[in-house]
Amino acid sequence: MERIPLAHNTADKNTRQVGRRKVTTAAELEHIAFELFDEQGFDSTTITDIAQAAGISRRTFFHYFPSKNDIPWGDFDHELARMREDFRALSANTPLMDAIRHCLVNFNQVAPEQISAHRRRMQLILGVPALQAHSTLRFRAWRQVIAEYVGTRLGQPDNALAPQTIAHATLGVALAAYEQWLNEDESELTELLDTAMRQLGTAFADISPAQD
């Protein structure tokens, strides 16, 4: 997997601060943080570094993000809520694994102009050891959305074996697709996800939703 550059560049950091207005949105702070991660490496960049570059105090930083580890995830809770809405909008007649494939691909749609930034984001999330424990919590929340939907469709609790198995398998498929995407510059993320989910759907073809 391609790594984020670790070179330090103090001159660039000082230049960036001159004349810059204070940030007013989480997206702006995230952008500044990623600039520093590129220059210094994730582990070597402190919250103080980010706050100073953004022209804000450390206290103000925590109004936007609970920790440095949360920055690469952006507004993840909002994205999970969007995925739940996507599931709710599907017809009850949609085959179970087709529904999950549709929502997984939709969840990971990235506008062309955002692809480069999304690669950087996922390189951090999947490639920085310091983020692995934090990522486990995020992935658990993501799996829960899948498990809730599967449980509803199967008429089972979301912590039953089948919903949990499908949720874990879907996350595995997503991570495998992302690894492939990060290693192959010309690959298309949604195509990889769609192909992998179709293969997973074949494996779970015998699982049928509960009948009303």
Mean pLDDT taken over the chain: 89
Confidence label for 207 from pLDDT (cuts 50, 70 and 90): confident
pLDDT value of position 20: 55
* Domain ranges, ordered by start, for the chain: 10-67, 75-203
What DSSP assignment string belongs to 94-131? S-HHHHHHHHHHHHT---GGGHHHHHHHHHHHHH-GGG
Answer yes or no: CATH 1.10.357.10 is held by domain 75-203.
Answer: yes
Q: How many whole angstroms separate alpha carbon 149 and alpha carbon 156?
A: 10
Q: What is the pLDDT of residues 101-154, one digit of tens each?
A: 999 999 999 999 999 999 999 999 999 998 988 899 999 999 999 999 999 999
CB-based contact 171:139 (threshold 8 Å): yes
CB-based contact 174:143 (threshold 8 Å): no
More confident residue, 29 or 15: 29
pLDDT value of position 206: 80
Confidence label for 22 from pLDDT (cuts 50, 70 and 90): confident
pLDDT value of position 133: 86
Q: What are phi and psi of 177, to 5 degrees?
A: -65, -40
Which of 23-27, 50-54, 86-90, 171-175 bottoms out in mean pLDDT, i.e. has the lowest? 23-27
CB-based contact 32:23 (threshold 8 Å): yes
State what percent of residues in the chain have pLDDT above 70. Answer: 88
State what percent of residues in the chain have pLDDT above 90. Answer: 82
More confident residue, 170 or 8: 170
Say yes or no to pLDDT of 3 above 50: no
Q: What is the pTM of this model?
A: 0.83
Q: How many whole angstroms separate alpha carbon 49 and alpha carbon 176?
A: 33
pLDDT value of position 205: 83
pLDDT value of position 192: 97
Sequence-separated (6 or more) residues with CB below 8 Å from residue 190:
105, 108, 109
Q: Tokens standing for 7? A: 């070179």
Q: Which helix (H) or strand (E) holds 153?
A: helix 132-154
Q: How many whole angstroms separate alpha carbon 33 and alpha carbon 17?
A: 13
Pick one of 1.10.10.60, 3.30.70.100, 1.25.10.10, 1.20.1640.10 as the CATH number of 10-67: 1.10.10.60
Q: What are phi and psi of 41, to 5 degrees?
A: 90, 150
Q: How many whole angstroms separate alpha carbon 50 and alpha carbon 35?
A: 9
Say yes or no to pLDDT of 194 above 70: yes
The CB density around residue 40, as the number of other CB atoms within 10 Å, is 20
Nearest to 43, CA basis, from 104, 115, 129, 118: 129
The residue type found at 5 is: P
Say yes or no to pLDDT of 6 above 50: no
